[in-house]
Chain A
Amino acid sequence: MTPPAVDWIDHPAAVALAGRHRVRAWEVIPWLLALGFYFAFPKYLGFGTELLITILFALSLDLVLGYAGIVTLGQAAFFGAGAYTVGMLAKRGIWNEPITGLILAAAVAAAIGLGSGLVLLRTGGLTLLMLTLCTMALLEEAANLAHDYTGGFDGLDSLPIAPLLGRFEFNPLYPTTQYLYVLAVLFVCFVFVRTLVYSPFGQSLTGIRENTLRMHAVGAPVRWRLVLAYALSAAIAGVAGGIWAQANAYVNLGTLGLDRAATVLIILVLGGYGRLYGAFVGAVAYMALAHFLSKIYPTAWQLGLGLLLVVIALFARNGILGLTEAAARWRRAPRAIS
């Protein structure tokens, strides 16, 4: 007696694939934690705001690195572009409304991403890495040279950012408004990235990452997809930079520096790339450790941080999330589809 035939659409594998984009119950947790942080630790909101912005920045990198497979050391170029857009417009009194400021920041960053992506994405590997790095360094040098506009090394301080929605002021000492503002923006951007990643476009990016040759063979417009992904990720990085400038009422060359670009790369790899939430996990782990270790050992905390990186690299196969996934797989019986 043969069992009744299973229609392919009901096959467990198909169901799993089709349902990948569905929101899982545990996905609410990071947002609840972030809100809880607001109420539980009102005195740490300065740190919290910086943390959320870093998550947003790392998320932008995940889109381009984890999903499109483009390894770049120049992501801070877009962060800085967004930050300086907001900063220069505000300082000169041309434009200081926060939300539209972010849109402008995203636009400028996306333009730079589009332009540089078209030129640079013909290459790969170490070459691409160095090209992205050098592009960012050039931008930093340009900002330094144009110090009449950008404030050079000292930067632009005391940016007069208008209150949010006309009512909520940005208080430098008690950044309650900043925290909630960044959280809201992070949520919106996250929803955007998540939808993008599970859309056909996002799937094609994964295809390109895994097997470029094949994608060419099936006729997918590989180069255009990559450039588009690069530009979109640049836009989000620009939003992160713009909101950083607004929250801190300040912008300087550090927003464009190798330090920032390298740190966000480390954070993403530490958390786990290509997993969307790797940005969250990595940023929390790295920044919390750096912050609290440096309070106890102001001179030697890098040792502890370095140790964490070395240990994760040696024992995890994709950052901290890779560790948790491996643990979950090991616990689950082999019958489940992952």
Chain B
Amino acid sequence: MLKRLVTIVLPLVVLGVGSAQAQEVKVGVALPYTGIGAEFAQLVDRGMELYLKLNADKVKPYKITLIRRDVKDPSGANAKIAVQELLTQDNVDVLAGWIYSPNAIASAPIVTAGKKLAVIMNAGTAHITNLSPYYVRTSFSMWHAGYSLGEASAKILKAKTAVVGYTDFPPGKDSLAAFKRSFEANGGKVIDEIPMGGAGAVPDFTPFFQRAKDKKPDLFFVFVPAGDHAAAVVKTYAALGMREAGIRLIGPGDITQDTKLQAMGAAAVGLITMHHYHADLDNPENKRFVEAWKKEYGPNTTPDFMAVGGYDGMAAIVHVTQVLKGKIEADAALEALKGWKFASPRGPIMIDPVTRDIVMNEYLSEAVMKDGRVYQKVIGQIDGVKDACKEQKIGPCATAAK
């Protein structure tokens, strides 16, 4: 009798233990861990890890394993090999990462051939999500901030003229096009467009800013890649006394990236930026996020928009894992994410069911000094912003999604 019981019960127990054992979901992460993008890779990576740490109960009973590959540079070749190997050698269930747009663009055919969900956590060129049906973006498009800022500049800041300075590469041109279109649609006029060097080495911005100052606009809209470029921009603006000359410096939040903001000090005061995230946003999720970040990585560190791209991207992956019970089949995963809503540290976000790009709030903020540190005060916001480039089918966004 006992023997019979054991032969029935034991297999059931073993099965039960087996299924209670965490089912592993492998996430292949392609980021530039070395080279000029190293610090951005670190931010996204930390954002992903922090989500897993803070929301361990939401991940159960599954286990998310991150398989990291260094893509080394924005040239595309190494990204392709990394993605290809993640798919064919490591057999990952989901792909994630992509800081640089050229890498995301280069990876698109492989992603399509590999038929796995691919979550873009930073790359911002607008038409990227059209290049593969498996791309879902949780970061931003250059048009989110640029277009909104054009609108906000005319309506909230009541500006009439603007000079645009931009780093001469596609995100810069995207930003210029977005801002110009909505600023002029709302009654403003862009009186000069100044390409300011490449995205590689940080140029000395003085000559470009001097030219802008000579034109005497209401606003100087600047787009540069986040990081060293942004720090140099703020310094040059202060050094040339442009604020005293009555020219306000505005731009997407790349120029007041949280990780660089405090180092800019008093020079940053008066900067007006529009972005979907900064660490001073006042909502409960963000307070929790920033506090946990400082606890985990140090009191002098801060998350920024790249970190939140990683955080929300991981939230999307975990959501898919739960809905599909650990078996991540790409088409089902896409269905699960289309229209997915989430309370992110940046506010409420949604994945657009048509474009698979992110829909979120854009906040107009002014940098002020508060309690001895630079603080970004929200002075306006636009809710539920979609990527205007794809919405209005402008330029490269006009080609239909694959």
Contact = CB atoms under 8 A, between A and B. Distances in A.
B69 A295 contact: yes
B122 to A, nearest CB: 15
Interface string B236-268: 000000000000000000000000000000000
Contacts of B73: 254, 259
Interface in B99-126: 101-102, 105-106, 108-110, 113-114, 125
A155 B88 contact: no
A253 B199 CA distance: 12
A273 to B, nearest CB: 24
Interface footprint category on B: 35 or more
B217 interface: no
B77 interface: yes
Contacts of B173: 152
B231 to A, nearest CB: 21
Interface stretch (B79-87, B185-193, B205-213, B286-294): B79-87
Interface stretch (A168-176, A186-194, A225-233): A168-176
A50 interface: yes
Contacts, number: 108
A253 B101 CA distance: 13
B76 A254 contact: yes
A299 B34 contact: yes
Given A154-B170, A248-B80, A174 B70 contact: no
Interface string B66-79: 00111011111100
B75 A174 contact: no
Interface residues of A, number: 37
A259 B109 contact: no
A173 B105 contact: no
Interface string A241-276: 000100011101111010110000000000000000
B94 to A, nearest CB: 16
B340 interface: no
16 contacts: A46-B84, A46-B88, A47-B85, A144-B169, A153-B169, A154-B169, A172-B80, A248-B77, A250-B76, A250-B106, A254-B74, A254-B76, A257-B75, A295-B70, A298-B70, A299-B70
Interface of A: 43-44, 46-47, 50, 144, 147, 152-155, 157-158, 171-175, 244, 248-250, 252-255, 257, 259-260, 291, 294-295, 298-302
Interface of B: 33-34, 38, 68-70, 72-77, 80-81, 84-85, 87-89, 101-102, 105-106, 108-110, 113-114, 125, 131, 168-170, 173, 198-199
